[in-house]
């Protein structure tokens, strides 16, 4: 089985390690002394620059004349840092750089180096660093922040591998915003990397202040209500996308990361699904899909039935429906639009107001306005229940952008149902699916793996199979390495061999 580690080149000396790590934009290789060819190398996203300056470079420069040529032991004694070692094992050195350690070495004699612990212990964290809009009950809650260097550190802490590469670019003719493309070398299909790089380079826009603006400018189709690129504020979700062979785009000043390519199923997956037993994870995922279908179609069905198909209502239900609508002067279309717009008003007002006030407004406003509307005979109590349940169901999606799309789709379906009844609703659903089938994300079909059908990828689609059964990366992303980990027979059988102990 091909592993991620096997994609690394063979390092013969420190210069080979520096050459490989220099492909990532957050790696620095600084010359301390030209005469002695003395250099220091480190990942800027992991180390504390203050330690580099005060405890490494300054003491060496102050006593540079006392250091004999190619004498690492003399340099190590100068450093006012306890955790220092002279090492010559290239494999160990490769991993220690990823742990926030710096390398001090002579370029002309690069078979060994001084490894200095310069890790920034608090860099990348703040008091309020939780993911606010993608919260979960269990699992890590660390989210991205507005500082891109901090976000790079958070990613490196999650994926401690030399294959993680960062490619830095500058966009915005006026803002000159720093943008970084993160990917796993040896896993990602380079076609997506070239596509992202080219689309960002071709941008001729004056101000890029958030990743959402960058999302709209590099997406495959900007004339669709569906989000074609997955934005997330969770570090663990971005790391999972990188592991699957996707790329992550970070924008300075934005606490959200863009993941591409993506399919429509990614917007219904929560990181919490993989932290629960697979039966519960699959159940909650199905609840989300059912909630979306109910949210989109419940109100249009009500309008279609009461406008054109009253005969299909059972006799036992006909009486309560007549009683609830007997004093309502409006047709079902106006009644439904009235309630849906009120719900949108409450949502928008609650989102813009301070948190405590917004929560109070949403609860009290919904109860008071809904009850007053029923008593004033502006709407029926049955439709009030349906609209309230539809609003709740739209929040089951773990991604805010897809929730907005679901809110929007109800309105055209309600209008079609009021014009042609059930036929209009069916026509609207067919048009919707036709539109989704034609969408692509970085060239990947948006409806994959359902269309085109990929049986193996369905193990992590509508249902979440056991973790041991989803050891393969999704084929729709065409990763260079298919296997994520090996599944041994002993692990599958859950039997321990005590005879070998």
Label each residue of 28-62 as H, E or C.
EEEEEECCCCEEEEEECCCECHHHHHHHHHHHHHH
> Rounded to whole angstroms, how far apart are CA atoms 28 and 324?
71
Q: Is the pLDDT of residue 362 over 70?
A: no
From 424, 441, 458, the end of a domain falls on: 441
pLDDT digits (tens, 9 = 90+) for 372-412: 777 787 888 888 889 888 988 888 888 888 988 998 999 99
Q: Are residues 304 and 389 in the same domain?
A: yes
Q: Are residues 393 and 310 in the same domain?
A: yes
Q: Is the pLDDT of residue 167 over 90?
A: yes
pLDDT digits (tens, 9 = 90+) for 128-152: 566 677 777 777 888 898 888 889 9
Residue 486 domain-assigned (yes or no): no
At 354 the pLDDT is 67
At 142 the pLDDT is 84
Range of the domain at 201: 148-262
Mean pLDDT of 97-126: 82
> Rounded to whole angstroms, how far apart are CA atoms 218 and 171?
12
Mean pLDDT of 436-462: 89
From 423, 441, 459, the end of a domain falls on: 441
Mean pLDDT of 237-260: 92
| Average per-residue pLDDT for the chain | 85
Q: Are residues 192 and 314 in the same domain?
A: no
Name the phi and psi angles at 275, rounded to 5.
-100, -5
Q: Is the pLDDT of residue 429 over 70?
A: yes
pLDDT digits (tens, 9 = 90+) for 321-340: 888 888 888 899 998 998 88
Q: Are residues 422 and 289 in the same domain?
A: yes
**CA distances to 200, 300, 335, 337 from 423, in Å:** 43, 11, 21, 20
At 1 the pLDDT is 56
Which 3 state secondary structure label does DSSP give 352? Answer: helix
Give the model's confidence band at 2: pLDDT under 50 very low, under 70 low, under 90 confident, else very high.
low
At 456 the pLDDT is 84
- Give 183's strand partners: 165
Q: Is the pLDDT of residue 344 over 90?
A: no
Report the 10 Å Cβ neighbour count for 130.
14
Residue 344 domain-assigned (yes or no): yes
Lowest mean pLDDT among 35-49, 219-233, 407-421: 35-49
Report the 10 Å Cβ neighbour count for 299.
27
Mean pLDDT of 206-214: 89
Q: Are residues 72 and 174 in the same domain?
A: no
From 262, 290, 307, the end of a domain falls on: 262
At 230 the pLDDT is 93
Number of domains in the chain: 3
At 77 the pLDDT is 84
Q: Are residues 256 and 288 in the same domain?
A: no
Residue 465 domain-assigned (yes or no): no
Mean pLDDT of 96-105: 89
Residue 447 domain-assigned (yes or no): no
Structure tokens at 426: 């069916």
At 325 the pLDDT is 83
pLDDT digits (tens, 9 = 90+) for 268-291: 988 888 888 999 989 999 999 999
> Rounded to whole angstroms, how far apart are CA atoms 476 and 468?
20
Residue 499 domain-assigned (yes or no): no
Q: Are residues 431 and 325 in the same domain?
A: yes
Q: Is the pLDDT of residue 494 over 60?
A: no
Q: Are residues 308 and 404 in the same domain?
A: yes
Residue 477 domain-assigned (yes or no): no
Q: Are residues 227 and 363 in the same domain?
A: no
The percent of the chain in helix, strand and coil, each rounded to the nearest 5, is 50, 15, 35
Residue 481 domain-assigned (yes or no): no
At 337 the pLDDT is 92
Mean pLDDT of 113-140: 73
- Give 130's strand partners: 142
pLDDT-above-90 percentage for the chain: 33
Residue 24 domain-assigned (yes or no): yes
Q: Is the pLDDT of residue 497 over 60?
A: no
Q: Are residues 435 and 289 in the same domain?
A: yes
At 188 the pLDDT is 93
Planar angle of CA 37, 42, 45, nearest 5 degrees: 150
> Rounded to whole angstroms, how far apart are CA atoms 414 and 435?
18
pLDDT-above-70 percentage for the chain: 90
Q: Is the pLDDT of residue 302 over 80?
A: yes
Q: Are residues 308 and 339 in the same domain?
A: yes
> Rounded to whole angstroms, how far apart are CA atoms 70 and 377?
90
Q: Are residues 102 and 156 in the same domain?
A: no
């Amino acid at each position: 089985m091909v592993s991620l580690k096997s994609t690394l080149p063979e390092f013969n000396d420190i210069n080979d390690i520096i050459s490989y790590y220099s492909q990532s934009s957050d790696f620095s290789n600084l010359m301390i002394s030209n005469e002695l060819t003395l250099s220091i190398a480190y990942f800027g996203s992991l180390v504390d620059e203050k330690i580099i300056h005060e405890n490494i470079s300054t003491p060496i420069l102050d006593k540079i004349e006392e250091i004999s040529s190619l004498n690492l032991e003399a340099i190590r004694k100068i450093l006012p840092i306890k955790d220092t070692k002279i090492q010559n094992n290239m494999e160990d050195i490769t991993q220690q750089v990823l742990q926030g350690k710096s390398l001090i070495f002579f370029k002309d004699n690069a078979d060994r180096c001084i490894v200095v612990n310069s890790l920034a212990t608090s860099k990348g964290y703040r008091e309020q660093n939780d993911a606010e809009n993608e919260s979960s009950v269990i699992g890590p809650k660390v989210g991205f922040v507005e500082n891109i260097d901090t976000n790079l550190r958070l990613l490196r802490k999650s994926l401690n591998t030399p294959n993680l590469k960062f490619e830095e670019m500058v966009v915005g003719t006026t803002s000159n915003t720093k943008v970084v493309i993160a990917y796993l070398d040896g896993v990602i299909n380079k076609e997506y990397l070239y596509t992202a790089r080219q689309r960002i380079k071709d941008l001729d826009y004056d101000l890029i202040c958030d990743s959402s603006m960058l999302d709209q400018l590099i997406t495959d189709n900007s004339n669709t209500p569906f989000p074609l690129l997955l934005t997330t504020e969770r570090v663990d979700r971005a790391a999972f996308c990188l592991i699957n062979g996707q790329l992550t785009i970070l924008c300075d000043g934005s606490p959200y990361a863009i993941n591409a390519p993506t399919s429509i199923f990614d917007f219904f997956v929560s990181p919490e699904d993989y932290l629960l037993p697979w039966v519960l994870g699959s159940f909650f995922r199905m609840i989300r899909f059912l909630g979306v279908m109910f949210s989109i179609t419940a109100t249009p069905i009500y309008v279609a039935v009461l406008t054109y198909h009253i005969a299909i209502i059972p006799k036992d239900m006909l009486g309560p429906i007549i009683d609830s609508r007997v004093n309502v002067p409006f047709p079902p279309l106006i009644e439904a639009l009235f309630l849906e717009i009120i719900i949108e008003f409450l949502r928008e007002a609650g989102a813009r107001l301070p948190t405590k006030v917004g929560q109070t407004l949403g609860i009290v406003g919904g109860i008071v306005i809904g009850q007053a509307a029923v008593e004033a005979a502006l709407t029926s109590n049955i439709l009030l229940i349906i609209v309230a349940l539809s609003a709740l169901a739209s929040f089951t999606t773990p991604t805010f952008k897809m929730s907005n799309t679901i809110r929007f789709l109800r309105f055209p379906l309600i209008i079609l149902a009021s014009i042609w009844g059930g036929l209009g609703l069916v026509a609207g659903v067919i048009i919707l699916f036709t539109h989704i089938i034609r969408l692509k994300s970085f060239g990947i079909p948006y409806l994959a793996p359902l269309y085109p059908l990929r049986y193996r990828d369905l193990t992590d689609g509508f249902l979440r199979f056991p973790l041991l059964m989803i050891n393969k990366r999704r084929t729709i992303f065409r990763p260079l390495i298919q296997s994520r980990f090996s599944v041994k027979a002993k692990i599958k059988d859950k039997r321990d061999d005590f005879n070998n102990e």
